[in-house]
């Protein structure tokens, strides 16, 4: 199919929407993902802002105000005047009355944006939606109902996970994830920032692949000037984003922030029991729900340590914006509006190393492609262990079905990485520790991921594979 040139990336998501539009049956499509990720933009651009009915929930207003907005939008769509509905059942009845005036074989596109905000306490919204869909809309051929929501917990638990009349009624769900490096580069070019890949990488390590944050970058400023303006300036818009982001996504948002802030101090990750201990919380189902929701919103990742049991699964903070904010912005008390530009390289370099590791872990598919193993079944994990009194860890192990394991080391740098004799000996020692600790008989390939590759030298022979920044920018 031809993709909308105004939409950067999102090819798979456009394929799903196209399939649903061409389907002869009624379709109920749920698009979810964290705030600022581009859900509304995707739907509006794909359908070219042409809907038979469109409305949007309003953040933290009463049911009365939500119903008033519904009335206004329905009157605008239908060209008729209707009184404000007394409840959501009447609101959906009015929508049905309007849609029934359209020919039965006509395609109807309905878009309800920020649907979680319509479900105010004791409003009955979800049950009214259930009646509308089950009693009429589901049997209307050609009707396409698209709903969006940033409150991912509501979307996954209340809508997709509904145990009542809406159980399994959503016909397609689309989880919109952050941009990859490739998509970020294409997006920045589309808004006039023709930066080098090293600058795009630096921007990604701070802002991640969140389109809204990237859209704030100004072409006439350098990256460092942009970061000063967005985080440290007098009216720094991304300084206040953190609090609002969590409060709009999650109920009891303070618990979510405690978990995230705890993980920001333990960069290698923590187990569930360690998190409970660190934040001094009760061991309950709520913590499990918090961890699941943070993962669904792309704030954290869970990964298993090689050879460990299920209870030893680790959680790691991976959201780039949150990592940067908690490291440099949250507790910053200075008055320097050029704090990022004037910061010493030492402080930046420690953070850059960890941020680059996270970028690599977010692009494992690109690493596999560069290794030529995209079509080989593999498992991704981490390893840490103590052998003969010495500890070591490997943040990325690719365990392949062809009897090979890639032990990946990520090293950030602004030039080719020099593999010294000591570093080569350390990598060999760590490889043997891994073999002894795990007992594996697979071939172990030492793999280095570094932006500019490695400098030539006799010690590079220790490496079986070298992955560069350009590899990470592949689709």
Tell me how far apart the alpha carbons of residues 468 and 313 are, in angstroms, rounded to a whole number. Answer: 29
Q: What is the pLDDT of residues 363-410, one digit of tens each?
A: 999 999 999 999 999 999 889 889 999 999 998 999 999 999 999 999
Lowest mean pLDDT among 4-13, 282-291, 310-319, 425-434: 310-319
In this prediction, residue 310 carries a pLDDT of 62
Whether 318 has a pLDDT exceeding 70, the answer reads: yes
Q: What is the pLDDT of residues 170-180, one digit of tens each?
A: 999 999 999 99
Mean pLDDT of 330-345: 89
Residues 6+ apart with CB under 8 A from 25: 141, 171
Mean pLDDT of 103-107: 85
Percent of the chain with pLDDT over 90: 80
Tell me how far apart the alpha carbons of residues 221 and 129 are, in angstroms, rounded to a whole number. Answer: 47
Tell me how far apart the alpha carbons of residues 169 and 172 are, in angstroms, rounded to a whole number. Answer: 9
Closest CA to 38 of 212, 229, 204: 212
- Burial class (CB within 10 angstroms; exposed 0-12, middle 13-18, buried 19+) of 272: middle
In this prediction, residue 201 carries a pLDDT of 97
Q: What is the pLDDT of residues 133-182, one digit of tens each?
A: 999 999 998 999 999 998 888 898 899 988 888 899 999 999 999 999 99
Mean pLDDT of 222-241: 94
pTM reported for the whole predicted model: 0.93
Residue 152 φ then ψ, to 5°: -60, -35
Mean pLDDT of 268-275: 90
Q: Helices 63-78 and 88-99 meet at what angle, rounded to 10?
A: 10
Whether 16 has a pLDDT exceeding 90, the answer reads: yes
In this prediction, residue 1 carries a pLDDT of 67
Instruction: Give me the residue label for tokens 């049956």.
Output: 25
Comparison of pLDDT for 297 and 363, the residue scoring more = 363
Whether 309 has a pLDDT exceeding 80, the answer reads: no
Please name each of the domains of the chain with its CATH number.
Answer: 11-175 (3.40.50.300), 180-362 (1.10.10), 372-472 (3.40.1350.10)
Mean pLDDT of 305-333: 87
In this prediction, residue 348 carries a pLDDT of 85
Mean pLDDT of 35-41: 94
In this prediction, residue 148 carries a pLDDT of 96
In this prediction, residue 306 carries a pLDDT of 80
In this prediction, residue 421 carries a pLDDT of 95
Mean pLDDT of the chain: 93
Cite the DSSP H helix spans in 47-191: 63-78, 88-99, 125-135, 152-153, 181-190
């Amino acid at each position: 199919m031809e993709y909308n040139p105004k939409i950067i990336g999102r090819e798979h998501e456009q394929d799903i929407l196209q399939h649903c539009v061409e389907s002869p049956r009624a379709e109920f499509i749920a698009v979810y993902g964290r705030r600022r990720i581009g859900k509304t933009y995707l739907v509006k651009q794909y359908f070219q802002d042409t809907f038979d009915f469109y409305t949007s929930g309003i953040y933290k207003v009463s049911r009365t105000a939500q119903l008033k907005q519904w009335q206004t939008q329905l009157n605008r769509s239908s060209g008729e005047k209707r009184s404000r509905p007394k409840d959501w059942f009447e609101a959906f009845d009015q929508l049905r009355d309007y849609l029934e005036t359209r020919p039965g074989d006509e395609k109807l596109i309905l878009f309800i944006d920020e649907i979680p905000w319509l479900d105010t306490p004791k409003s009955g919204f979800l049950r009214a939606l259930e009646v509308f869909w089950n009693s009429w809309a589901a049997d209307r051929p050609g009707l396409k109902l698209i709903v969006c929501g940033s409150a991912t917990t509501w979307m996954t638990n209340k809508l997709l996970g509904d145990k009542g009349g809406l159980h399994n009624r959503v016909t397609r769900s689309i989880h919109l994830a952050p941009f990859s490096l490739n998509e970020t580069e294409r997006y920045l070019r589309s808004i006039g920032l023709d930066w080098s890949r090293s600058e795009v990488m630096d921007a990604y390590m701070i802002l991640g692949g969140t389109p809204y944050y990237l859209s704030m970058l100004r072409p006439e400023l350098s990256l460092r000037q942009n970061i000063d303006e967005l985080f440290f300036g007098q009216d720094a818009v991304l300084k206040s984003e953190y609090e609002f982001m969590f409060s709009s996504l999650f109920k009891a948002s303070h618990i979510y922030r405690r978990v995230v802030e705890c993980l920001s101090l333990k960069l290698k990750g923590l187990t569930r029991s360690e998190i409970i201990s660190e934040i001094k919380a009760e061991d309950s189902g709520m913590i499990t729900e918090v961890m699941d929701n943070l993962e669904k919103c792309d704030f954290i990742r869970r990964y298993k340590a090689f050879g460990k049991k299920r209870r030893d699964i680790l959680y790691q903070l991976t959201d780039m914006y949150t990592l940067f904010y908690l490291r440099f912005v949250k507790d910053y008390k200075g008055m320097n509006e050029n704090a990022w530009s004037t910061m010493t390289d030492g402080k930046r370099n420690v953070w850059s190393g960890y941020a680059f590791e996270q970028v690599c872990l977010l692009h494992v598919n690109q690493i596999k492609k560069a290794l030529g193993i995209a079509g080989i079944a593999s498992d991704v994990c981490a390893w840490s262990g103590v052998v003969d009194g010495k500890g070591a860890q490997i943040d990325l192990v690719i365990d392949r079905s062809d009897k090979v394991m890639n032990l990946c080391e990520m090293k950030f740098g602004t030039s080719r990485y020099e593999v010294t004799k000591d570093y080569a000996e350390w990598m060999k020692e760590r490889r043997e520790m891994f073999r002894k600790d795990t007992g594996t008989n697979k071939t172990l390939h030492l793999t280095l991921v570094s932006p500019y590759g490695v400098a030539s030298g006799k010690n590079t022979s220790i490496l079986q594979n070298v992955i560069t920044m350009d590899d990470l920018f592949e689709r």
